[in-house]
């Protein structure tokens, strides 16, 4: 007969079953968003999970940006949590208005009142944006201030 039709039919049925299962989660009220995105939904949208605006930082009630991030988004200061080649935890590097500023400790010198926006870029995204010379093993914290340097 036709031995090629049976594998195609099985593949089609498998795809149909997988699609039906995926859509049934949405109909039953279960969300396909990760738990982290749901927890962040009260602060910002899912798309902006790696972004903190200046007004949110000002509500932290501290002076330095480092302290504000410790209270509002401490995961930004820790980075991805993977060790580097020497077994040390890799920390994100900081870019202040597009210029490399150093390690997260630099944020202790930045006043929250000057900050418009802070974004965390994961290592792969940062590498794509800044190229192979980027010191972005731990990701990048991008800080945009009200006044350029």
pLDDT at 102 (0 to 100): 92
- Region for residue 132 given its phi and psi (left: phi exceeds 0; alpha: psi -120 to 50; beta: otherwise): alpha
CATH superfamily of domain region 47-145: TonB-dependent receptor, plug domain (2.170.130.10)
Domain boundaries defined on the chain: 47-145
pLDDT in tens, 62-84: 999 999 999 999 989 987 766 66
pLDDT band at 34 (very low <50, low <70, confident <90, very high): very low
Average model confidence (pLDDT) across the chain: 75
In contact, 107 and 82? CB cutoff 8 Å: no
Cα separation, 145 vs 116, whole angstroms: 5
pLDDT in tens, 100-135: 999 999 999 999 999 999 999 999 999 999 888 888
Q: What is the pTM of this model?
A: 0.64
Q: Lowest-confidence range among 7-16, 48-57, 75-84?
A: 7-16
């Amino acid at each position: 007969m036709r031995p090629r039709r049976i594998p195609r039919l099985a593949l089609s049925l498998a795809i149909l079953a997988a699609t039906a299962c995926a859509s049934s989660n949405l109909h039953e009220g279960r969300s396909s968003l990760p738990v982290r995105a749901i927890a962040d939904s009260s602060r910002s949208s899912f798309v902006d999970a790696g972004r903190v605006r200046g007004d949110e930082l000002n509500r932290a009630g501290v002076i330095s940006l480092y302290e504000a991030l410790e209270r509002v988004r401490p995961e930004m200061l820790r980075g991805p949590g993977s060790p580097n080649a020497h077994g040390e935890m890799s920390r994100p590097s900081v870019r202040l208005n597009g210029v490399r500023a150093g390690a997260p400790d630099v944020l202790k010198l930045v006043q929250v009142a000057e900050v418009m926006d802070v974004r965390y870029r994961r290592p792969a995204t940062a590498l794509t944006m800044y190229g192979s010379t980027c010191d972005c093993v731990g990701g990048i914290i991008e800080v945009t201030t009200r006044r350029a340097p």
